[in-house]
């Protein structure tokens, strides 16, 4: 085990015991996360929902760091859905504020650690100041290679699919008979990224919630009861350990069952 990992996942702790169960040669390339439960976490402590989101930002920081240290290539975080606009104005305003603070505080960390930021979702609906800040950090980190942090903002899976279809129709180079799954995927917001291998959802809900509808076709889903503000590096490791126990067949039979039909 490398020294960097030993220092971060301290020997003698639960997270270290979990790390020892992880096969670092078979990590999920892309981990996506539905960060849920900020409101319930706050309510159970007599706090406001916005305080739940603020606590959730700490979990974002820890998860980004843990994923990068482990060697994951892409980490996608569902931060704001198209449906989230229905929330009270004050809560929505605070979420954008938190995102801006996060970018201001973490941009140096992204640069120093060779992390790239990429945004998916409808940019045209984002508050102008937030979009400027996001695009500044995207440009600043565009050549970074260690891990890509994808943040889904004003994102909805169906909207992404409709937008992709529209772009295809508008692209005069595409003839209907040339359209296949690979070509289609190039028109999605996630163009060029591998599909998620592992989707983590916190707070126990068993739903996809309009997240990455195309991309999760064969993704392994891991749901934890842990609320997002309580999510720590050990939970990421639990998810990876469980993922590595699964038998991913992509519609095929198990390799050892081949030829026995």
Active site members: 36, 84
* Token reading at 30: 């892309």
SS3 state at 162: helix
How far the first Cα of the chain sits from its last, in Å, is 41
| 37 belongs to the binding site for ligand FPP (CB under 6 A) | yes
Look up residue 165 and give its two tokens: 């279809």
User: Which pair of structure tokens corresponds to residue 210?
Assistant: 């309009």
Residues contacting 14, CB < 8 A, separation 6+: 234
* Residue 36 touching ligand FPP (CB under 6 A): yes
Q: Please choose, out of 7-15, 92-100, 190-198, 211-219, the segment that lies near ligand FPP by the rule CB under 6 A.
A: 92-100
Least gap, CB of 260 to ligand FPP (angstroms): 46
Residue 143 CB, shortest distance to ligand FPP, in Å, is 22
57 contributes a contact to ligand FPP by CB under 6 A: yes
Three-state SS at 23: coil
Instruction: Return the exposure string of 13-32: e unless at least 16 CB atoms fall within 10 Å of the residue's CB, then b.
Output: eebbebbeebeeeebbebbb
* Candidate segments 18-26, 37-45, 116-124, 207-215, binder of ligand FPP by CB under 6 A: 37-45
- Quick check: 232 binds ligand FPP (CB under 6 A)? no
- Examine residue 141 and tell whether it contacts ligand FPP (CB under 6 A): no
Minimum separation from the CB atom of position 52 to ligand FPP (A): 6
Q: Which is nearer to ligand FPP, 77 or 164 (CB)?
A: 77
Q: Is residue 100 a contact residue for ligand FPP (CB under 6 A)?
A: no
Backbone angles phi, psi at 157, to 5 degrees: -60, -40
159-to-56, 86, 90, 100, 150 alpha-carbon distances in Å: 26, 16, 25, 24, 17
Told to check if 98 binds ligand FPP by CB under 6 A, we report yes
**Which residues contact ligand FPP by CB under 6 A?**
35-40, 53, 56-57, 60, 77, 79, 84, 95, 98-99, 102, 151, 228
């Amino acid at each position: 085990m490398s020294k960097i990992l030993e220092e971060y996942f301290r020997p003698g702790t639960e997270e270290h015991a979990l790390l020892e169960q992880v096969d670092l040669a078979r990590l999920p390339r892309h981990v996506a996360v539905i960060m849920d439960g900020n409101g319930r976490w706050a309510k159970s402590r007599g706090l406001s929902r916005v305080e739940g989101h603020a606590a959730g930002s700490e979990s974002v920081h820890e998860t980004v760091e843990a994923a990068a240290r482990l060697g994951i290539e892409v980490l996608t975080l569902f931060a704001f859905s198209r449906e989230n606009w229905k929330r009270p104005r004050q809560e929505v305003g605070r979420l954008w504020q938190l995102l801006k603070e996060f970018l201001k505080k973490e941009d140096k960390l992204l640069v120093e650690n060779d992390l790239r930021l990429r945004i998916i979702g409808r940019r045209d609906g984002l508050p102008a100041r937030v979009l400027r800040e996001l695009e500044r950090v995207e440009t600043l980190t565009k050549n970074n290679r260690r891990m890509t942090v994808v943040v889904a903002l004003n994102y909805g899976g169906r909207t992404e699919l409709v937008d992709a279809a529209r772009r295809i129709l508008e692209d005069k180079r595409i003839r209907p008979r040339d359209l296949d799954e690979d070509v289609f995927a190039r028109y999605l917001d996630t163009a060029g990224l591998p599909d998620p291998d592992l989707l983590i959802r916190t707070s126990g809900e068993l739903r996809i919630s309009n997240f990455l509808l195309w991309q999760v076709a064969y993704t392994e889903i891991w749901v934890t009861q842990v609320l997002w503000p309580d999510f720590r590096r050990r939970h990421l490791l639990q998810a990876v350990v469980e993922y590595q126990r699964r038998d991913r067949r992509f519609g095929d039979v198990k390799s050892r069952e081949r030829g026995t039909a």
